[in-house]
Amino acid sequence: MKINKIVIASALILLAVSLVPILMLINQWDSGSQSYGITTSDSQQIHFRWQDVNQQVHQYPTSAGTYTYLFLGFLSCSEICPIRIEQLNQLEQRIEQDASFNKAEVQFLFVTIDPDNDTLALRQAVIDARSTHFVSASLSESDLHQLELRLSDNINRQLATINHVGNLFLLNPNGQIARIYTAKQLSISKMLIDLNHIISSQL
């Protein structure tokens, strides 16, 4: 009888212990069903002044209702930057094909971290010429530094070539970070689900 009680107690303990990781997995799966990118509790607005390829100065955020994919990079980059630009290009195509995004204002904002070499003509050819939704920006040295710190993008200019993380940020119309994408390879379909969920939550 005593042995049976010990066996039952041991079984209950094992069951309780095993439930913890199972519940964690279920919670992670449930969160993942609504969020592919990393969510943040940081509600502070991101704002900065930037210059376009026509040397016109703008303030971010400006357009009410515009969702912005923000990416810091440089155009001589041979690693993450070409991948990110192509991902954004594919994302724009999918948004245009999806009727559920017909009323959504989405822009793709590339901020150069190498303004001396990313000339106006180069930015126009590589970024702005893609579509009216693609915009390249240069910031003053102080504004760029503040933005890098704000995004924790870990940019190292002390090496022979600039080293940076290459995270992609989705900002809501208020300039708040809605999602952060850190993976090198991204699922465009899952990013669309994220965007749709965020837009729906703003309505």
Which segments are annotated as binding site? 77, 81, 164
SS3 assignment for 74-104? CCCCCCHHHHHHHHHHHHHHHHHHCHHHCCC
Contact 69, 109 (CB under 8 A): yes
111 membership: H or E segment, kind and range: strand 105-112
Residues annotated within a binding site for Cu cation: 77, 81, 164
* Separation CA 171–CA 123 (nearest Å): 22
Residue type, 110: F
Q: How far is CA 45 from CA 37, 51, 67, 104, 140, in A?
A: 19, 19, 13, 20, 19
Q: How far is CA 3 from the centre of its chain?
A: 57
Going by C-alpha positions, the residue among 90, 38, 30 that lies closest to residue 194 is 38
